[in-house]
């Protein structure tokens, strides 16, 4: 058996890789957006299209990641994230930025899927699977770190272009730090390619369709505040030392939520946990509309950030329960539904951004969808596993 130190090294490398992939490759745009609005004149509609490009890339990456050799995919994707992130600061040609955000989304998904596979393989072989919680905390850690850094850079009056370049350099340095940890020297063959999830036959039933619709609604509901919270805060308070807290609060809540759920909600039905989390997220989504102010936005960051990883965890657990021995295909279908939902969110915002109260209407619609799906989940709780 490998030493505890080796397992900790694996978990730490996974944490850093996910922090780069999600905190920078996927979500650095969120805390940088207020800076781009201030110094580059980026409109809300244009911001929505840039976000949608990234989320479309994530969908493409999620559907193709299983076809890649694991370790080379991790390493090359981390380098690609560094390159395209740095590139965001080199010019303001909108079409080029759309392509860069698309590539960042693809690479982020490749890292997430393959780091998950690699770290779980390594930790399982070393009988240290409990350390997987450290790995997945990297998502929240990356979001928190990116938000805190942007808050400091805004306070120092660093512009958005230099911020993108700094994030690109940081990504490269962090990648160099974990490069050797991602090794092909494994107790088992980490290069074995898993069967692409969507190639498995899924025997669709009304219950499976319900779960897929609810997971897609989750993608749509969370992505609007997850993209625009700091921009909403900046609209109310111009001091970055104040409005900049929105994104670190979101990330910290995300990092802590799965540990809290695992400790206090482990005995509860996953569908009921999922439904409750949808309701709490809906409150967070709509709160800035019914109670305009910075306090409401910070509470929204706490509620949305504190539920999106819990929904991910409980939703995928429920998928495994329902689909039984064909869980991989069904999980792939749910992931695709989620990705479609999160692409649609920014597109909707872009479509209504020029309409009076259009953004508020988008938030209200997202909250309503979350409440409706929460009701459906709660009513369907307790169903037994179905045959596939």
Domains of the chain by residue range: 1-183, 200-388
Tell me, what's the pLDDT at 241? Answer: 67
pLDDT at 62: 82
pLDDT tens, residue by residue, 87-118: 999 988 999 999 999 999 999 989 988 888 78
In this structure, which topology does domain 200-388 adopt according to CATH?
Answer: Growth Hormone; Chain: A; (1.20.1250)
CA 354 remoteness from chain centre: 27
Per-residue pLDDT at 176: 97
What is the per-residue pLDDT for 5? 63
Give the pLDDT confidence score for residue 56 in this predicted structure.
94
Question: Does 200-388 match 1-183 at the fold level?
Answer: yes
Please report the pLDDT score of residue 388 as a whole number.
39
Record the tokens describing residue 63, joined without a space: 């559907």
Q: What pLDDT sits at residue 197?
A: 46
Q: Looking at residue 99, what is its pLDDT?
A: 97
Cβ neighbourhood burial of 354 (10 Å; 0-12, 13-18, 19+): exposed
Radius of gyration, CA atoms only, the chain? 20
Domain spanning 1-183, CATH class: mainly alpha
Q: Give me the residues of the chain with pLDDT under 50, please.
A: 1-2, 186-199, 384-388
Q: What is the pTM of this model?
A: 0.83
């Amino acid at each position: 058996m490998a030493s505890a130190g080796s397992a900790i090294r694996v978990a730490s490398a996974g944490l850093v890789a996910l922090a780069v992939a999600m905190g920078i490759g996927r979500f650095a745009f969120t805390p940088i957006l207020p800076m781009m609005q201030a110094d580059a004149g980026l409109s809300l509609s244009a911001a929505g299209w840039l976000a949608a490009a990234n989320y479309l890339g994530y969908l493409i990456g999620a559907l193709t990641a299983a076809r890649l050799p694991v370790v080379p995919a991790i390493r090359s994707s981390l380098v690609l994230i560094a390159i395209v992130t740095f590139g965001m600061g080199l010019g303001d040609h909108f079409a080029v930025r759309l392509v860069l955000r698309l590539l960042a989304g693809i690479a982020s998904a490749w890292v997430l899927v393959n780091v998950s596979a690699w770290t779980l393989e390594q930790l399982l072989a070393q009988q240290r699977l409990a350390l997987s919680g450290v790995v997945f905390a990297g998502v929240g850690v990356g979001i928190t770190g990116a938000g805190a850094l942007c808050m400091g850079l805004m306070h120092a009056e660093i512009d958005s272009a230099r911020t993108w370049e700094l994030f690109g350099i940081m990504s490269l340095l962090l990648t160099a730090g974990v490069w050797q940890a991602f090794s092909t020297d494994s107790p088992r063959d980490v290069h074995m390619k898993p069967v692409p999830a969507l190639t498995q036959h899924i025997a669709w039933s009304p219950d499976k369709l319900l779960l897929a619709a609810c997971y897609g609604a989750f993608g749509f509901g969370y992505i609007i505040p997850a993209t625009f919270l700091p921009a909403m805060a900046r609209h109310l308070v111009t001091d970055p030392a104040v409005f900049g807290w929105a994104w670190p609060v979101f990330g910290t809540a995300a990092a802590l939520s799965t540990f809290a759920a695992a400790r206090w909600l482990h005995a509860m039905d996953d569908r009921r946990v999922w439904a409750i989390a949808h309701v709490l997220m809906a409150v967070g989504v709509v709160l800035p509309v019914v109670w305009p102010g910075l306090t409401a936005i910070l509470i929204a960051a706490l509620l949305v950030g504190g539920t999106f990883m819990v929904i991910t965890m409980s939703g995928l657990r429920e998928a495994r329960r329902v689909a039984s021995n064909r869980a991989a295909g069904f999980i792939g279908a749910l992931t695709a539904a989620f990705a479609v939902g999160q692409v649609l969110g920014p597109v909707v915002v872009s479509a209504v951004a020029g309409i009076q109260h259009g953004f508020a209407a988008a938030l209200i619609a997202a909250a309503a969808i979350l409440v409706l799906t929460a009701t459906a989940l709660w009513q369907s709780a307790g169903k037994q596993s179905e045959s596939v």
